[in-house]
Structure 1
């Protein structure tokens, strides 16, 4: 029998979360390996980042619907906030890869801080914030490196 702590990330969640980093890593590496097509790969990286930022925003919609014990004000704030990441991600699709990467990273960081605020007010799993921090950090590094080198 395996020793598992209460705050261990469920295996399927870990696979899906870290698996979601593969396109970030793959595209950032491809930008470095294929500088002749850097803008193309940079646009692909930004597009994936925009999709994922929109996805993490939607988590707050789900939290607003499902978390017991939220005040009406906190529930309303979750619904409103859940739309903000998509509104940040969309203009990133129209920008050059470096500016878009900075915009997306700002969105991921802002969303992590919103996650922290929600965790202080609601019963989220103990593994959620550490996982989100790791995923946000790695995605952000890939976006910034990819955005920078795509423009060279």
Structure 2
């Protein structure tokens, strides 16, 4: 016989009450008074829970709130689609195209594509090609800029060739076009030209920012933009007083620093968007020329006489002036001494005549 939860609890409560030794000592009235609230609680109908209400409702009513747009099919649309004739595509449909194989993820195993081992190199080459393409740079600026760095490149190549010629003469005792004294003399002429022309280029690159400020490109920035045109020549022109190696290294650092300054100006909107790429190409040519000159000169550093630098010439000029001043002072003292001796001789002659 099945019992409900209320009947079972009532039976257990009655059994505990009867079997308890305390209940045997109490009166029957006390036991009845204790059982009355429990019986009333189990016999009074209670409010059913929400789950019970749902279970008592029909299934269609219970699932109505879960209904979606696909629970109301469009029979006319389905009939129209069902009347269409399927198109046969034999080249795409086969007996295995719709069959899922057991040990494969896909129905038909795809052929593995060969990996291109040079894909990274090709991507780098394309990037370099696009960088040096300079499609967005105005043609006039590109032509004049390249023409401006050609003399610098020519001096560098001349230095490399003369260094090779001098080195070849020292090793084999023969030369191609110039003898060693002639090549050394030409080298001493070309090196100051390269350093001086580098100072001119640096000054011009700084002056470009003055023009951009006057044109108010990207707004007015005042002293911050004018500083480019002041610092560049202030760093460039003192390098002509340095020895050749130190001058070239200093100019290389100046070109590199100025390139990063120009790139920062492009980022800030102070210069056209193509200017950083344009400056990169020109700086690359100039930097490569400086490196080539340093390498060529390093090959013959111990085979040529060191050309006096402008600082040495200034020092030599000061020494000459100091020596000339000393000689003039000696001549002046000698003349004064001679004049004094002449006066003494005249005084002696006058004394003899008086006697």
How high is the TM-score relative to the length of structure 2?
A: 0.38
Q: What is the number of residues matched between the two proteins?
A: 145
Q: Of the two, which has the highest radius of gyration?
A: 2
Tell me the residue number matched to 1:58. Answer: 207
Cα shift at 1:89: 0.9
Residue 261 of structure 2 is matched in structure 1 by 114
Q: Residue 58 of structure 1: CA displacement?
A: 0.4
Of 38, 52, 66 in structure 1, the residue corresponding to residue 187 of structure 2 is: 38
Correspondence list, 1:3-152, <5 A: 8-35=136-163, 36=184, 37-70=186-219, 74-122=221-269, 124-150=271-297, 152=301
* Bigger RCO of structures 1 and 2 (CA < 8 A, at least 6 apart): 1
- Which blocks of at least 5 consecutive residues in structure 1 are unaligned? 1-5
Equivalents in 2 of 1:92, 1:123: separation in Å?
28
Q: Supply the distance in 2 between the matched residues of 1:75 and 1:116 (Cα, whole angstroms).
A: 19
Measure the CA separation in 2 of the matches of 1:118 and 1:124.
Answer: 6
Distance change in 2, residues 1:135/1:68 (3 Å): closer
Q: Deviations over 1:81-116 (max 9, x none)?
A: 211110111111111121111111111111111112
Change (3 A) 1:30 1:76: same
| Secondary structure of residue in 2 paired with 1:83 | helix
Cα 1:7–1:34 change in 2 (3 A) is closer
Give the direction of change, closer, same or farther, for the CA distance of 1:107–1:84 in structure 2 (3 Å limit): same
Question: Structure 2 CA distance, aligned partners of 1:46 and 1:68?
Answer: 32
Within 2, Cα distance between the matches of 1:79 and 1:123?
A: 12
Tell me the TM-score normalised to structure 1 length.
0.85
Query: CA RMSD, aligned part only?
Result: 2.0
- CA drift at 1:148: 4.4
CA distance in 1, matches of 2:216, 2:249: 32
Q: Which structure dedicates a bigger proportion of its chain to helix?
A: 1
SS in 1 for 2:276: helix
Cα pair 1:64 1:76 within 8 Å, conserved: no
Q: Secondary structure at the match of 1:82?
A: helix
Once the two structures are overlaid, the 10-residue window that deviates more, 103-112 or 119-128, is 119-128
